[in-house]
Structure 1
């Protein structure tokens, strides 16, 4: 599959965009006209630079508002087109995108449109140019790709074809199956973009909220499958208008974009395999696949890092975690409660506040999972090991959290724990826990505002997690967008939070599931744990909503426990005070409750805000 990207997707100058695209590994680019017009580079300079970088110049775009116009305006449009064709000759480009008219069309007549497009094709032929005619979703008279193709078919000119754009097709819910009936020789170009499902006018949706494949909710694998079945062999190019991407680091965005096409290629191959299961068919466009990996079986560990870890150690001890000792060669400690393991890393620079630094996941084959992630452009995390120490495969997530792929044991144990010594001075003075069991239930990670979409694609493609519909939670500093990523059995739950930009220190937390939260809370209180103090108003509202047993309600209030219930079960949880940017949550899931106590999130945010300002 030949990969491409429009320069409009990226921040920076044309030169910077081209360099980033080459670094990311794209085969070619679309030059967005504004990028060339505002560049100090001459067309000849751009042509040479593209050649030096190994980039093809696949498409010049956009040429707007050509068809359905009176004769006088048509002549002006043809003069304008000829100027662009001469420019393309200097660039060494042979394909231009012509959008269906949205502004100047006054005549709704397919016969006239075909006649005018024929004149454009004749002119293009004189200059060795191919015209790819595209139906914009908000086109005045032509807004359907099948309508655009009928016009191309009417003209029947070797220099006129169509461009298929997934956004213009899927945003209007057009059926994609008819793509297979198109003559592939008349499909000159294919552009892809994903998007969240939004209720707004399609123009604004298109201009501001497109995302890379895998970061939205469009069925792009199906769209691509129909394109491949049609026999198309040209570039698959990203055209994404997004306010955030055009403010982000250009090289990083280009790599994220390339990852999205690698993911899309694999997903499209999988879609075709399901459609052609009975008959193995080969298509002119060959789709590459990645090493297959299963979903993670669970969390192996969570790591918190700081230069002063005393507060973390105290908190873990009060919760009931066992101190298992120091690592024999590294300045890190191991704390555990059943199969819930927390690494406390003391190897942080001076004055580094406690923060979640790494997560370990149990996978079938760490080496294969790491190879897949690296093919998806995930940076490798180097890790020094001594003889007889576990070799972890590590990659970096978009927010710089280190992700380690671990060989999990069926019984939930971890082989690397033998590298830690017996309990020593760090466990002294803490009441020893009563051997209760726990697992890591979920981890909540704060995401930089410009990298949430990238993170969703990363965890989807590299770790096989599935995004759930995102939610928005009210907080004193604004709305917090919460994106849950899960395995299909919910053995791994990861919550990505996009905090308001006004929030100075975004908080993260690790949640542990225990079989008896009330007993856990009482034991923790006896050890001196400082709970997040829940206001009395919350419990009055809780009673009004659920009509709880008075004694049970009194217990919740006494222990600062929060409660939620749905048709499948119940959820009890409490939070600790925050140390640095980290706090802990203890939860108990009753029945088949699968949520996170979302109605209680605004309460937590408000209490934490109140405490941080007093």
Structure 2
């Protein structure tokens, strides 16, 4: 599949963007006119640079406000168009994007628009150029791809076809099925963008909130399927206007963008009828569960004390490294003091149990995922790790009935693994604002996790945006939280941190036993319990029990959720949960209370 990307997606100069696109593995680019206008290089130099980098120049854009105008205005359109066509000849380009008129259109007549496109086609032919006509979602008269196609049919010119853009179709709620009625050779170009489902005007939505495939709520799989079944054989290109991508490092964003198309290509290749040039990724099933969580710090003694108070067993110290392992049931926590000078405790890595580690590794390589390196002795298990966009490391190891082999590398400890904690329920990671969308795509593409909704939670220091990824069987649950800027600026120990939630057999008993052993449970304000009694009508003795243990409570249509929080110095804190009768949430109603309590306690 030939891939392309619009230079508007990236930060930097035009030359820097071209280098980034080539390094990421794109075959071609769309040249966004403002990038060329601001470039110090001549069109001929840009053409030569693209050729040296192995990039084709696929589309020049945009030609605006060109149809549906008076004859007087159309004379100026022809003047502007001829200048663009001459420029495109210097660039060696043969396709220009012509957007439906949003500003100067005064004639709502398909015959008039078609006639003007026909005359533009005559002019374009003299320069060896074709015109791809696109219905903008906010076009004054033409905002539907079906009407754009009717106008192209009326124009009846070999140099005039349509450009299809997923945002302009799906943001308006238009049915893309009719795309299959357009002959493939008349679809001159395909542009893709995903987007979150928002209630706002389409122009602002388009200019600031587009995303790469796999990061939003559009069904791009179905959309592109219609285009391919129509017979389209050209490039599949990304046109993503997004404030974040325009101010982050171009090479990283380009790799991120290319990964999104590789993930989409894999889905399309498995859904015939499809093009012969589509290829699959190495199939790898979703993880079967958490293998471990790793906490890194210069001094992990406070975390050790917390785990011991929660009933975890110290399984031993690594044979060759300043690393210890603690476990209870299937929950394993690695405490790593290697190369951790001046670091407060934080979640450095998450390990997953997978069915086929070799397939998982191959898939990660095909998606251009950066691999992490850790020194391993010849007698030790070599665990494969990649680096997630937030900088954390992600490991995978073969799932097995018994404990993984790497556990045997920890010696001189307690072989017990019992306790009231039975496993890891979920791992919540705080994301820098600029990588949250990339992180969602990373876990979807590499580890086959799927989005499961999200929510916004009010904290004393700003709104926390939360997005959840999980496996269908809920063996893996990963809430990803975006810290408000004021929280991020406060650094380690701020009110929003990473946390690990442990699944318990009896969280009430654990709270009692843990407190007796010195477990520092987060105090919850009394007002919360007064509200709890009003909301759920719980008996007084139940409320008194929850209040006495600083337990939080939630209930849905199927079951109940009881949980409490404990902390140690650093950026990681701990949650202990009990799900009863199929409860499937995270106690979202309790999150603002927890955030406020942490803030008050300076945690």
TM-score normalised to structure 2 length:
0.97
2:96–2:132 contact (8 Å) kept in structure 1: yes
1:367–1:393 contact (8 Å) kept in structure 2: no
Q: Which residue of 1 aligns with 2:548?
A: 558
Q: State which of 461, 465, 471 in structure 2 corresponds to 1:477.
A: 461
Whether 1:573 and 2:573 are equivalent positions in the alignment is no
Q: CA deviation at 1:436?
A: 3.5
1:398–1:455 contact (8 Å) kept in structure 2: yes
Size of the aligned set, in residue pairs, is 597
Q: Which residue of 2 aligns with 1:541?
A: 531
> 1: CA distance between counterparts of 2:19 and 2:418?
59
Q: Which residue of 1 aligns with 2:254?
A: 254
1:485–1:494 contact (8 Å) kept in structure 2: yes
Q: Which residue of 1 aligns with 2:307?
A: 316
1:513–1:588 contact (8 Å) kept in structure 2: yes
2:502–2:576 contact (8 Å) kept in structure 1: yes
Q: CA deviation at 1:578?
A: 3.9
1:232–1:285 contact (8 Å) kept in structure 2: no
Q: CA deviation at 1:388?
A: 3.4
Q: CA deviation at 1:262?
A: 0.4
Q: Which residue of 2 aligns with 1:18?
A: 18
Task: Give runs of aligned pairs for residues 103-502 of structure 1, distance below 5 A.
Answer: 103-270=103-270, 272-273=271-272, 281=273, 283-411=274-402, 413-423=403-413, 435-502=419-486
Q: CA deviation at 1:329?
A: 1.4
Q: CA deviation at 1:491?
A: 0.5
1:233–1:285 contact (8 Å) kept in structure 2: no
> 1: CA distance between counterparts of 2:568 and 2:158?
67
Q: Which residue of 2 aligns with 1:276?
A: none
Q: CA deviation at 1:231?
A: 1.1
Q: CA deviation at 1:554?
A: 1.2
Q: Secondary structure at the match of 1:293?
A: coil
TM-score normalised to structure 1 length:
0.95
Structure 1 runs of 4+ with >6 Å offset: none
Q: Which residue of 2 aligns with 1:515?
A: 505
* Unaligned segments of structure 1, at least 5 residues: 274-280
2:28–2:57 contact (8 Å) kept in structure 1: yes
Q: Which residue of 1 aligns with 2:583?
A: 593
1:24–1:255 contact (8 Å) kept in structure 2: yes
Q: CA deviation at 1:234?
A: 0.5
Q: Which residue of 2 aligns with 1:526?
A: 516
Moved more, 296-305 or 499-508: 499-508
Q: CA deviation at 1:286?
A: 2.4
Seen in structure 2, the aligned counterparts of structure 1 residues 435 and 80 have a Cα distance that, compared at 3 Å, is: closer
2:347–2:392 contact (8 Å) kept in structure 1: yes
> 2: CA distance between counterparts of 1:611 and 1:221?
47
> 2: CA distance between counterparts of 1:53 and 1:42?
17
> 2: CA distance between counterparts of 1:532 and 1:348?
30
Seen in structure 2, the aligned counterparts of structure 1 residues 348 and 100 have a Cα distance that, compared at 3 Å, is: same
Q: Which residue of 1 aligns with 2:27?
A: 27
1:228–1:285 contact (8 Å) kept in structure 2: no
Q: Which residue of 1 aligns with 2:101?
A: 101
CA RMSD of superposed structures (Å): 1.4
